[in-house]
A and B are shown apart, each in its own frame.
Chain A
């Protein structure tokens, strides 16, 4: 009898873990796994999490700041240039021959107007010129000769394709318009008679533009141009081949 009771006791001890489970299929909890029925000793959490917050609309200032290009942050230049230009003007030959070359010179002011768009591509490519150039035509004999003074005033935007280190060079194409003022004199035995007039001017051309930095510590660059430009002066066609050099701020 005692043996049977002892055995039964041993069996009961060995089966105690089994007695501890309510259900044989219940999972054995992880040590950190909370049990709903287990007493909680943690900070009291809200019964419900906060609702997903609504995304508010951007303010105008935030929109501007988001769209603002940072392209110019490291460019101290204003995009303004002044140049002195010189070259050969081939005014339309009234005698129907190949035009004679005449020395021409003038002044040009350039504004990189692409900067106002905020677009990095346009900033580097789009610019505009305001130009005045001058050429003279003299011909005739000692006794009777003519002098014509041609002034070309144009405003012309241009679009360039930058290349080179730091994109300091660009090949560009340009069209523009303006006015040509012509003052002409015919001299007969030292007596001159003059007449002047204005004609509409249409300009188109191509060229190479560059603005290399000369001194790093200065916020200005050398600006230069090589160009071939045609002018439609009324019903006549003049061709300019030359260049310009100046300063870019």
Chain B
């Protein structure tokens, strides 16, 4: 009788411990399958080591955190170093998530909605890291991105209501925040592969272009100098490249290439404005001058103009890739352009450093030239120049965009956009 009780105790003790399968983990996730939409699908997570706490080589989840990024927060009223600033804005560090599973035939089935959400999110991140590694990034460089899952996030004021319906990369925390949904009742942002790939791309941009700074020194210097154009241009570039990488990652998914990145994810009015395939994605001269080059950065960002300019950049890359059939090549070239210490072909990081004290010279032309200087295929280079020239209204001459090949000509899709 005693042995029976002890054996029963051991069984209960074993079952009281969470599942701990070795990677690769066989698990169910919600995968977008184009016409059918999202379906429960068995996937293999190659890098996940702790399925309950959702910690792996590419991401580590944090639940229950409280983060406040407020102008009236006395904790950040004085200049702070990156680590101190990060500690000051995290009011509650949170803790491990507790994914809940039911094991069936050695496959882990999420037992509630948030576990479905987190597993699918991890799957999307894993696929995105595979995209970047296929284009030249290393696993060491990418590391494990912290995912703040459904945190309480306040912005603007310490007494503001928590923000909802968003997912974004926050440089001070070097991590991604997936906020609770409220009005967004379509596909949860965490499940949308294009959203996750877009946000993850910001972490890669921050690592390579800004050396993974928590508080971007260049933006601070340029703001103090009262020259917003460089900040506006770099932020627009960041958004544009994130959209282009999100598109590239979608081409590797089971749903296939999706230029309508945020369809059924964001409200139609927002999603349609970000679609890459529209032929007339162009920046007007008026918008370039009044918004990009002269509008103060805070207003530029708050009004979402960085997405407007970013979509034009992304669309230029999309059109060049699809018209030449060299999307894979362009993805590699663009990622290589993030940082390049070669004097003749500086990367984005290098032109930021070069123009730290001359922000007026960091223009769309400078940015376009960096891209073109890292494209080796002549056909692709010419088409890319055509797209950027026509859509961004570039000023290309002997001294600007020198890597635009002879014979290039601006696309005429923007004929209706002055």
Which of A97, A184, A188, A189 is within 8 Å of B64, CB to CB? A97
- Are A144 and B38 interface neighbours, CB within 8 A? yes
- Report B227-278 residues with CB < 8 Å from chain A CB: 264
Q: A94-B99, A186-B113 are in contact. Are A141 and B181 (CB under 8 A)?
A: yes
Segment of A6-14, A67-75, A155-163, A191-199 in the binding face: A191-199
**Residues of the B chain whose Cβ atoms lie less than 8 Å from the Cβ of A17:** none
Q: A97-B150, A142-B185 are in contact. Are A235 and B12 (CB under 8 A)?
A: no
A125 CA / B142 CA spacing, docked (Å):
62
- Report B93-125 residues with CB < 8 Å from chain A CB: 94-100, 102-104, 109-118
- Are A182 and B184 interface neighbours, CB within 8 A? no
The interface on chain B, measured as residues whose beta carbon lies within 8 A of the other chain's beta carbons, has a size of: 46
- Are A98 and B16 interface neighbours, CB within 8 A? no
Q: Tell me which of A97, A143, A193, A234 has the highest count of chain B C-beta atoms within 10 A of its own C-beta.
A: A97
Q: Tell me which of B37, B111, B116 has the highest count of chain A C-beta atoms within 10 A of its own C-beta.
A: B111
Q: A94-B98, A200-B16 are in contact. Are A143 and B40 (CB under 8 A)?
A: no
Within 8 Å of chain B (Cβ to Cβ): is A137?
Answer: yes
A201 CA / B126 CA spacing, docked (Å):
34
Q: Tell me which of A94, A142, A184 has the highest count of chain B C-beta atoms within 10 A of its own C-beta.
A: A94
Which of A94, A177, A188, A196 is within 8 Å of B114, CB to CB? A94
**Residues of the A chain whose Cβ atoms lie less than 8 Å from the Cβ of B52:** 235
A143 CA / B149 CA spacing, docked (Å):
20
Which of A92, A144, A148, A177 is within 8 Å of B188, CB to CB? A144
Contact mask for chain A residues 165-186; partner B; CB cutoff 8 A; 1 contact, 0 none: 0000000000001000010101
- Are A184 and B102 interface neighbours, CB within 8 A? yes
A177 CA / B11 CA spacing, docked (Å):
12
Contact mask for chain A residues 222-249; partner B; CB cutoff 8 A; 1 contact, 0 none: 0000000000101110000000000000
**Residues of the B chain whose Cβ atoms lie less than 8 Å from the Cβ of A148:** 111-113
Q: A95-B118, A96-B94, A182-B111 are in contact. Are A202 and B12 (CB under 8 A)?
A: yes
**Residues of the B chain whose Cβ atoms lie less than 8 Å from the Cβ of A197:** 102-104, 109, 111
Closest to A138 in B: B113
Which of B11, B15, B38 is within 8 Å of A234, CB to CB? B15
Q: Tell me which of B38, B62, B114 has the highest count of chain A C-beta atoms within 10 A of its own C-beta.
A: B114
Can you list 19 A-B pairs, Cβ within 8 angstroms, ordered by A?
A: A93-B98, A93-B114, A94-B100, A94-B118, A95-B97, A96-B94, A96-B96, A97-B64, A141-B186, A143-B186, A146-B112, A146-B113, A148-B111, A148-B112, A182-B102, A186-B113, A188-B39, A197-B111, A235-B17
**Taking beta carbons and an 8 Å cutoff, which residues of B are in contact with A?**
11-12, 15-18, 30, 37-40, 52, 61-64, 94-100, 102-104, 109-118, 149-150, 181, 184-188, 191, 264
